[in-house]
Amino acid sequence: MNAQKKPRVPVALTIAGSDSGGGAGIQADLRTFAFHCVHGTSAITCVTAQNTLGVNRVDAIPPEAVVAQIQAVVQDIGVQAAKTGMLLNQEIIFAVAQQVETLQIHNLVVDPVMVSRTGAQLIDDEAVKTLRHTLIPKAAIITPNRYEAQILSGLEIYSLEDMQAAAEIIHKTLRTNAVLVKGGGMQGNLRGVDIWFDGEKLEILTTKQVETTNTHGTGCTLSAAIAANLAKGKNLWSAVQQAKEYVTTALTCALDIGEGQGPVGHFFPLLELGIGE
Ligand SMILES: Nc1ncnc2c1ncn2[C@@H]1O[C@H](COP(=O)(O)OP(=O)(O)OP(=O)(O)O)[C@@H](O)[C@H]1O
Ligand SMILES: Cc1ncc(COP(=O)(O)O)c(N)n1
């Protein structure tokens, strides 16, 4: 049995960390998969004690346990797409990259989670190196935010031109199939503008800017939505465009909970249709 076994419904796998506050990580990914009518499966890499104010503690799951979760899902259920989020350390990254290769997991979205929006470093320096060399080259697309794109490209990013240059450098030096540099961390009217580059097409993705500080989990949600769309058989460019629309809608429904940055509202668009009241 391999990753391509066809189930009745599309299946996606998230390989990521748990966020106790429910805003990002595995919790955001599974809600996003469900909203897209894709069956969500998970391999948990670490457990964070976190809320809207920040990350208080992180406990790693042993790499063998991460591998066992991936194998349990893929060997029985099969997955049409997968995403990675917070992978924490180089042992986990290496183990995940090996499983992607061995189990032939296709349609892989790598969200190279390194620094959270609250400024917390979420992965150590050795792990960044391993991510570059083992997992990133296997991805259909990688989705760095502004700060991650700076680390991966070696450029300081302040303008649209900087974002475009970073996307081109990342594509060239890391040999990725496609890259989406996300602009949630940009200032002024660049906030929410993303850059796509696949070696041929350089595109600027713009949607309406949402005036909210409740943006926790936007990156996780975007990459999970891309994976969900790929699991449903959409091509990469359509998957990205539709995921961008979804994250914008979820942002307009962001939740004002906690004292810090609240999460996006994954299912709250349904309330407008009178479902879930
Ligand atoms: N205020 C906003 N208005 C519109 N779109 C936004 C806004 N903030 C973020 N986005 C969009 O959300 C998506 C995620 O980008 P962002 O740069 O926030 O990722 P991130 O930093 O990885 O997210 P996370 O907070 O999960 O780590 C992108 O498509 C980005 O353009
Ligand atoms: C488990 C986990 N995964 C990813 C993020 C990044 O999300 P954010 O930048 O919104 O904090 C996070 N904070 N926690």
Its pTM stands at 0.95
Domain membership flag for residue 80:
yes
pLDDT of residue 122: 75
Give which of 223, 96, 112, 224 is closest to 174, Cα–Cα: 112
Distance between CA 213 and CA 210 in Å, rounded?
9
Cβ–ligand 2 contact at 117 (below 6 Å): yes
Both tokens of 275, joined, read: 């479902």
pLDDT digit string, tens, across residues 99-144: 999 999 999 999 999 886 666 677 878 899 999 999 999 999 999 9
Both tokens of 34, joined, read: 């469900």
Domain count, the chain: 1
pLDDT of residue 271: 73
pLDDT of residue 117: 62
Task: Please identify which of the residues 32, 45, 218, 248 carries the catalytic annotation.
Answer: 218
Distance between CA 189 and CA 200 in Å, rounded?
26
Nearest ligand 2 atom to alpha carbon 218: 10
Nearest ligand 1 atom to alpha carbon 147: 21
Task: Please identify which of the residues 14, 45, 130, 215 carries the catalytic annotation.
Answer: 215
pLDDT of residue 116: 66
pLDDT digit string, tens, across residues 199-254: 999 999 998 889 999 999 999 999 999 999 999 999 999 999 999 999 999 999 99
ipTM of predicted complex: 0.96
Question: Does residue 6 carry a pLDDT above 70?
Answer: no
Domain membership flag for residue 194:
no
Cβ–ligand 1 contact at 192 (below 6 Å): yes
Domain membership flag for residue 262:
yes
pLDDT of residue 204: 98
Domain membership flag for residue 50:
yes
Domain membership flag for residue 136:
yes
pLDDT of residue 62: 98
Domain membership flag for residue 32:
yes
Domain membership flag for residue 140:
yes
- Structural domain boundaries, residue 219: 11-147+176-181+215-271
User: 1-34 burial, b for 16+ CB within 10 Å, e for fewer?
Assistant: eebeeeeeebbbbbbbbbbebbbbbbbbbbbbbe
Distance between CA 193 and CA 140 in Å, rounded?
21
Which of 61, 115, 122, 257 best tests ligand 2's pocket when mutated (most atoms within 8 Å of CB)?
A: 122
Asked which of 25-34, 46-55, 112-121, 197-206 is least confident by mean pLDDT, the reply is 112-121
Distance between CA 277 and CA 96 in Å, rounded?
40
Cβ–ligand 2 contact at 86 (below 6 Å): yes
pLDDT of residue 260: 94
Task: Please identify which of the residues 192, 219, 262, 265 carries the catalytic annotation.
Answer: 219
Cα distances from 22 to residues 29, 60, 206, 212, in angstroms, run: 10, 18, 27, 18
pLDDT digit string, tens, across residues 158-209: 999 999 999 999 999 999 999 999 999 999 999 999 999 999 999 999 988 8
CATH code of 258's domain: 3.40.1190.20
Asked which of 2-16, 27-41, 71-85, 94-108 is least confident by mean pLDDT, the reply is 2-16
Domain membership flag for residue 206:
no
Tell me which residue has its CA closest to atom 2 in ligand 2: 25
Give which of 78, 42, 80, 25 is closest to 230, Cα–Cα: 80
